[in-house]
Amino acid sequence: MTFKRLLAALCLAVPAGVAVAAAAAASAITVVDDAGQRVTLAAPARRIISMAPHITELLFAAGGGERIVGAINFSDYPEAAKKIPLVGSNAQIDMERVIALKPDLLIVWQSGNTGRQLEQLGKLGIPVFQSEPNKLDQVADSLTRFGRLLGTEPVAAAAAAQFRASIASLGARYRGRPPVTVFYQIWDKPIFTLSSKHLINDAIRLCGGENVFAGLTVVAPSVSTEAVLQANPEAIFGGDQHDPDDAGIGIWRPYRSLLAVERGNLFRLEGELLTRPGPRVAQGAAQLCEKIELARQRRK
């Protein structure tokens, strides 16, 4: 090939290469995660590892359940999630297993996975999306962003719209009702609750409730018995009693002067419906609102 022909070939190849690169850039998928980081994929994710139960639920609802190749322990909803191979727990992730599954997207839980784990995962060269919905509307936002990453926008949009409609219906019914002071207990030894930084606080407000420990700076602070007695909440909530030896919210029954005890407002809820920031939060919020309304009706 003469120099002139080689030069001509190069001139033709460069625009073609630029066009290919431009097309690839145009088809790239970019979303912003809950840590404010941009996550870019060259194509919709096909092999995803879910690092939290709520992430697994969101992925199924967004139309991507069949693309989850690995999950963390307690990823047990929906039923199909129980068949997904596990890559560890929130305390320990099997990095070799993660690599062997050849994921093209890792979705992690900011406050549920340890900093060391997140650092290790970040070094694998695999796109990482950090999930941390702490407001009700962020659950819907998560669904739409997952749909974008999966290329399942219509399914995800429908799920997000249904979730928003359920929350809006609850808000229209309960938000204007007289306020009820609420203590939400997530553990009793020691006593742990949730502040305004957690999604449950948003659900309490939706129902016209007031979280007595909303102002604490930690997401899940430990509080004393004396602090709860001083706050004197009108209603106390806790999760399911899975073990007869688990006293749970029953620890408050001896305090008969406590307003919640005096009025019989010690309520157990199906804990995972509210503590997992996924689509079923709408169901959990509905149960919460019903109990808060019951507390209103028991006023003397």
Whole-number average pLDDT of the chain: 90
Distance CA 18, CA 298 (A): 71
Work out the average pLDDT over 157-179: 96
Distance CA 139, CA 276 (A): 10
- Is pLDDT above 60 for 289? yes
Bridge partners of residue 129, in order along the sequence: 107
**Residue limits of CATH 3.40.50.1980 in the chain:** 27-163, 175-297
Tell me the one-letter amino acid at 135: K
Q: Return the closest-CA partner of residue 268 out of 244, 239, 291, 295.
A: 239
| Contact yes or no for 209/260 (Cβ under 8 A) | no
DSSP assigned state of 78: S
Query: What is the tens place of the pLDDT at every residue in 111-155?
Result: 777 778 778 888 899 999 999 999 999 999 999 999 999 999 999
pLDDT-based confidence at residue 175 (cuts at 50, 70, 90) = confident
Distance CA 253, CA 166 (A): 34
| Contact yes or no for 175/168 (Cβ under 8 A) | no
Query: What is the tens place of the pLDDT at every residue in 257-283?
Result: 999 999 999 999 987 899 899 999 999
Residue 174 has phi, psi (to 5 degrees) of -115, -25
Looking up tokens 């009108």, which residue turns up?
A: 234
Determine the pLDDT at residue 243: 62
Angle at 181 between CA 176 and CA 183, to 5 degrees: 130
- pTM for the model stands at 0.87
Cis peptide before 178, with omega less than 30 degrees from 0? no
pLDDT-based confidence at residue 14 (cuts at 50, 70, 90) = very low
CATH number of 175-297: 3.40.50.1980
Fold of 27-163: Rossmann fold (3.40.50)
